[in-house]
Amino acid sequence: MKKDIKIIFHIDLNAFFASCAMIKEPYLKDKAFVVGGNQAMRRGVISTASYPARKLGIHSAMSINDALRIYPKLIVVPLNFNLYQKYSELFFKLLKNYSSIILEGSIDEAYIDMTEASKTKHPLDLAKEIQTNLLNSYGLPCSIGIAPTLFLAKMASDMQKPLGITVLRKKDIVDKLFPLPIKACYGIGKKTSPKLEAIGIHTIGDFTKESFKERILDIMSESSYQSYLDHIMGRSSDTIDPKRYAIPKSISNETTLNYAMDQPEAIFKIIVEMLDVAHERLEKEELVAKTVGIKIKDANFEMMNRGITLSEHTDDYNLFYEAIESLFETHYQNEPVRLVGVFLSSVVQKKDLKMDYNLFTYQELTKREEKIYQIVRSVNEKFPDAVSKGIKKTS
């Protein structure tokens, strides 16, 4: 039976931090500006550059000092993560109107399975509708790639920016993907692409040539080489599993007090109790966190949140305790409070702590799961009584 071809959208919000800055400060529209760093001190690194700034040769990861040398009138806008989080949530909320099968690539990009929705409406019409709604409703421009696999959709969304819609089918790979420079291949980093160029691989098409294989294997492992080939040729994953990384973004615990309390020792004791509960859940679900913070609501019901970001992810109770103790001593001003709480954020699974989630690790996890399943199924077929529901039977 022929497998149905999936229709995957990769939706990438264009210059997201810069777009958010323009929403907040409309005067920035059409201006050359960057987000991140400090203009007065001429220090820091650029997080995002507006498109007019990019035309001047200014780009992300460039130092503010270098950017100001290129264009002394450059406007530098400070980072505003609360603003980005707000518009990211609106972005994903809108996408849920079209499909429930969504994978968050990051705060400003998503993979979405539009196979079912495309049965009643043409994919290009759907893409244009999503693009228009994001721009008109929230002021967020985006580019959309449409393809049968996650990798090809990702590559397609990068082909026309800003506000582009690109279809990349398997039959288009040779004409549209092969001519692109090798550094444009998603997953091949800044360190690897110069090495490939040095051995004569200048385009994605060059990478697929058998004549280059031996030289490529001097640069990367055979498994990596094969993985890139599978991605480029449209043989990689077309499955979006929204639950794969479905872990809480934060764990919090809070309580409303029966009366306004202003005894520091008593208040801190309750905060510690809230930490105990939050930490217990963190350990139970085998998670680690990088940020710890406290919540305090005063008698006028004004909320104060203060947090500390640790140097690395952890589940160490003592580190969390020391952090909330420092936060409480620094920020509590002996005023009466009605609510206190604790939050642990930047949460990831402990087992995945050192894993960089991208399309390649995503596919490798899927392959690993499939391999385990095949082994178990093979054992069950050969020895039907050997394994049953994970319990080894003994005679």
222 catalytic per annotation: no
265: helix, strand or coil: helix
CB atoms within 10 A of CB 120: 7
107: helix, strand or coil: coil
247: helix, strand or coil: coil
Please give the DSSP secondary-structure letter assigned to residue 5.
P
Q: What is the DSSP string of 178-246?
A: TTSBGGGSTT--TTHHHHHHHTT--BHHHHT-GGGHHHHTTTS-HHHHHHHHHHHTT-S-----TTTT-
Q: What is the DSSP string of 136-164?
A: HHH---EEEEEESSHHHHHHHHTTSTTT-
Q: What is the DSSP string of 63-83?
A: BHHHHHHH-TT-EEE---HHH
CB atoms within 10 A of CB 3: 6
Q: Measure the CA angle with vertex 53, ends 50 and 56; round to 5°.
A: 155
Selected catalytic residue, list 109, 214, 273, 286 = 109
Q: Measure the CA angle with vertex 207, ends 202 and 209; round to 5°.
A: 115
Provide the annotated active-site residues.
109
